[in-house]
Structure 1
Amino acid sequence: MSTESLLLIGGLAILDMFSPAIIGVTVYVLLVAKKQQSRLLLAYLTTVALFYFCTGIFLMLGLDVVFDPIANALNSHSARLVMTIVGAILFIGSWLVPKKKTSGSPKPKSFSIEAMIALGFTTSLLEVATALPYFATIGILTSNHLAFYEWLPIIAGYNLIMITPAIILLGLHILFRRFMTTPLRKIQALFDKSTSSALSWVMFLVGLILLMNGGMI
């Protein structure tokens, strides 16, 4: 796999680091939960990472059947054209996403391991359909026709990168609990403003990356 493709996947993983649901739940638990914060968050983050990891494996094993005939039918010029068109649609659509207020990030029904696992599963299930960077990554891996042992660690690494900000916030809270309340409240306010703004930024950046990869920029 080329260095360019790996850098592109790394850029897409960095986009997914700023998931409003993951960071929103992390901040909420750190601010509100009185005990077992580490166990609660690790249960939630493990559930999310495993859900996306399993989804990635399922797509990688299933998409070959769909994409192989398409890849064989398209020459390089046609593939770049399709990539450019999709990138342009996402780029333009990012400016048209309506701005709307939200009621805040997802919250667990109770502070228990079971509730956090359930929250991780339900939020992942609801948001996986809009995981544009992840789907773009799966498409890149599929088009490179990698062996199982080559793409599996890439997907695992992608999902670890995705939950890295939450792990960092947890670590900072453990080390500097007294000083973290104000920064956490500011982060909470930022991510509670609008889910549409996060979606528009993801669409903008993924569209831009596809335009660059398609040769338009």
Structure 2
Amino acid sequence: MSLEMIAAVAGLAVLDMLSPAVAATTMYVLLRRRSGAFGLLTTYLGTVAVAYFLLGAGLMFGLSTWFDAVGETTIRWGQAVLGAALLVGSWWVPTERKPDRGVDSRPLGRRRMVVLGLGTWVVEFGTALPFFGAVAMMLSADVPIGQWVPVLAGYVAIMIAPGLLIFAGWRLAGDTVRGRLEQRSAKLATGSRAWLPWLVGIAGFLVLRDAVAHLLD
């Protein structure tokens, strides 16, 4: 795997990291639980990471044989179409979300953290376009398993990094940041989703750029 591809995949991972679901859930847990938050968060973040890794591995294994049969040129054209579609479609991505309906009073536990993690995995399908773009790039380049496994693991680690960073800041600053977390949590729950078109557009550009570079080579 070339350094250029690793950089492109890393860039897509950083874009995926901007999705607010992990950060919002982390803040929610920290504001609800003063003790035992670390165990709950590791369960939640681990569920998200494992779910995305298994999805990526399944795509790499399941589609690799079909990709070999189709041929690299056809695959690259398909990748280019995907990137162009994301780039153009970013102009029509909705930027508003419904406000929060109220405070959830259900108790928190590890089982519920697993459910929240799987829920994040399902709900974020619509905004995890950088993830699918990264998988498509590695599939198109026929990256061997010994290379794409650590890259995919690093990708999902970057995806959940905001949760770990927020928890670390919470432990260092304590309740002094509680007010800020409450404000930020409310903003994520009811605020604008103006970041989403940019995320989709940049992901489309990176996927399209990689395909065009290989087609012109």
Q: TM-score band (shorter)?
A: 0.7 to 0.9
Alignment of 1:16 onto 2:12: no
Distance 1:145 1:107 in 2: 46
Distance 2:83 2:31 in 1: 39
Deviation at 1:123, TM superposition (A): 2.3
2:97 aligned to 96, 101, 110, which one? 101
Distance 2:17 2:91 in 1: 21
Deviation at 1:174, TM superposition (A): 0.8
Question: What RMSD, in angstroms, separates the aligned Cα atoms of the two structures?
Answer: 2.5
Q: Give the gaps of 5 or more residues in structure 1.
A: none
> What TM-score do you get using the length of structure 2 for normalisation?
0.86
Distance 2:138 2:77 in 1: 19
Give the AA of the match of 2:199. V
Comparing 142-151 with 163-172, greater Cα deviation is found at 142-151
Alignment of 1:160 onto 2:157: yes
Distance 2:37 2:88 in 1: 41
Counterpart for residue 7 of structure 2: 7
Deviation at 1:195, TM superposition (A): 7.1
Counterpart for residue 110 of structure 2: 113
Comparing 27-36 with 104-113, greater Cα deviation is found at 104-113
Counterpart for residue 53 of structure 1: 53
Q: Give the gaps of 5 or more residues in structure 2.
A: none
Give the AA of the match of 1:122. G
Q: Is contact 2:97–2:191 with CA below 8 Å preserved after alignment?
A: yes
Counterpart for residue 86 of structure 1: 82
- Deviations 1:100-135 (CA, angstroms, capped at 9, x unpaired): 332349969421111111111122133235421111
Q: What SS does the corresponding residue of 1:95 show, helix, strand or coil?
A: helix
Counterpart for residue 133 of structure 2: 136
Identity of aligned residues (%): 33
Q: Is contact 1:53–1:155 with CA below 8 Å preserved after alignment?
A: yes
Distance 1:174 1:40 in 2: 15
Alignment of 1:148 onto 2:156: no
> What TM-score do you get using the length of structure 1 for normalisation?
0.86
Distance 2:83 2:49 in 1: 27
Distance 1:167 1:133 in 2: 21
Counterpart for residue 40 of structure 1: 40
Deviation at 1:84, TM superposition (A): 4.1
- Deviations 1:149-190 (CA, angstroms, capped at 9, x unpaired): 211111111111111111010011011113211331232133
Deviation at 1:202, TM superposition (A): 1.9
Comparing 8-17 with 171-180, greater Cα deviation is found at 171-180
Q: Is contact 2:86–2:203 with CA below 8 Å preserved after alignment?
A: yes
Deviation at 1:72, TM superposition (A): 4.0
